Structure 1
């Protein structure tokens, strides 16, 4: 039986976000009446059925301010606000029945039968998004006016100001730390871009001069890897928040099997040089998937690289949809992880497939932990299965990311 998947994405900085939330939880009880008034103001503003000040905790959402609803908490799997906290922008769902993220959600299919949602994230002075101020309704709605959304955002800012402790607001240390982190990020970006640009230029020159053959294919792989790395560097700088450790995603519709073929083609010469093989042997995915192209590429590349470094002699990759409609990517090789404890270590940074003192291959062990965070940020999950005849890394992406609509621009594998 296929295990159910969570219905929400996990922010990249989830551990820090939860720590920031717990640090200000004392305000929840102290300012309860004020939060109820904010919930009523939001409901009146959008003429909704319910207004909520929602805090998104690890496994549930708690309503510290509430009007129009009679329960103080729900599982996080039932939460709209768990999606709202993934960006700084407000989220509006005009008709839940038409949104694949929420069409099968429990509170949509069951009482109170939510059909409309509008929420603005509650963003602390630290930059962490701990919840949202939101409005629910039981009928689909038209898009609220811009000034109404702006007022909802301002109300959420007022809620955030209440949650922020006076000491935190008066302490300039965080701003100083943020400035240093931002400066560090800019420095790292420059230091990475320069050598990558040199490698790219030389690889492109060699590619034009070499005849067709193994050396030409390897040079092209280097050139394309430089292009991908440049895109990743730019993506991290553009979408990473140095002050909170957050990483936002910028998604578009993608042909996932084509992306995998592109990655495998670039990796193939290195596999062959190590007397190993990798192939995409099956794909019944005939739809587009809404993904961040830079981050999902690095996630998939990490899994393939991990198999090359620590796996067996043959890696096979399959892409399918399971019986629940989720996308499953399975990376299977004929290597073995005999110790179950080794599986858990693969999820931890700076862990690799062998003892750090005796292993014969390099790497910091950041690949699979980073992959897991990227997949969770997309709303999916990752697992490692060790069996008698091999090891599999299984990535699942939620069905609501799949669409039949073709993108305006298709991925090029050139």
Structure 2
């Protein structure tokens, strides 16, 4: 006769709502995902321990049971109304069916009457932290048989391991979403800083245009009025140039494009030009790049803007503030790879050891409340995407102080 075995201890309280159970399953974003080695290892172990030709990591959805991992079975899912695994949901207990032909619940099941001709089934429930049963780790045989207590305990252990993998998956996805949110926050902050620079850059010519139009309106002669109007048009062209340049470098490319870093530097300095002039900061640029670099232009523009902005802030107390930008073709001394060296240096206050050690930590900022603490963290991510190498030298010596950011960007051969 059929034997249905349920453990008397352990397990979880049966869930009160199928709707919340399905929501708990959906929260793991696991259904219809690609195969993963961790889950395949679970089914391999389950079959080895229990000595069965078939083992599954089965997740029970609203109208189907889907197999995250399968060993010895050719299909990826079956209808829920044919599912043995679904029977563990009301009880939250393991289920053993020694001979399905003799069990009235399963005797007429298509999976018993036809392929894969199930006779023996044992399933341990996958129990979520809230107590919901997401599915089972189960083993199947085409011949009637039994399991020892040790084999059943091992099956329950494997079900717990599947739950641990699911929790890890959710944690990784949550961290990825948080990281993307932080990147978005920093991009908005960069846009804000650049918008401020653009506002400075546009405000001056707009004021000049207002004055020139007033002078043109009160000019005593037509030739003098024409001079004022021509100067107004020059100022208007300056505004138009600033806007075009901003749009040019902030249309995100979907793929890398050949780029001269000097153009990006020029664009950034143009946006900061008014602030640099007001603070009397000398800027020296040496551009010896001969070969174009394949890169994401908008991303690299953001990196350069962050470095220049940080250098600007570091120069607040400097009596003779200076920023040096150097670009040249070179070869990495460590790898022998050809690429571009970009250096942004300032003679500002420099950084202490603690600040330097936390430089790329998200939300760590020495510019509170203005800084988001995400600029260099995002920049590091951009540079990693370009397989770039970044080194930093800094000093707070009274006679030789400042910071040098040196970036090596390899050519994409």
TM over 0.5: no
**TM-score, normalising length from structure 2?**
0.37
- Which protein, 1 or 2, shows the higher relative CO under an 8 Å CA cutoff with sep ≥ 6? 1
Query: Greater CA radius of gyration, 1 or 2?
Result: 2
